[in-house]
Amino acid sequence: MLKTRIKRRAIERDQAVTCLAEIKASITALNDEDLLDLADIFVRDTRGPLTAIAAAEMDKRSLRL
């Protein structure tokens, strides 16, 4: 049972990593206006992961709300 649980958690972890990479790639692919719109939607959520990813991409592009 322990081996099954370990395997299941490893699969879940791998899926989460893949999903996060896809989300980051999607945010990176946004044009400037869409990126600003996304950041505006999550402006109140200062500690959320989407906010952090969008903010990092905005910094790379030197964009501000």
Question: In a structure prediction context, what are the per-residue pLDDT tens digits for the chain, which is 65 residues long?
Answer: 889 999 999 999 999 999 999 999 999 999 999 999 999 998 888 788 889 999 999 999 999 98
Task: Determine the Cα–Cα distance for residues 65 and 58; give it in Å rounded to an integer.
Answer: 9
Show the domain range for 21: 2-61
How many C-alpha atoms does 42 have within 13 Å on its Cβ side?
A: 16
pTM above the 0.85 mark? no
Q: How many domains does the chain have?
A: 1
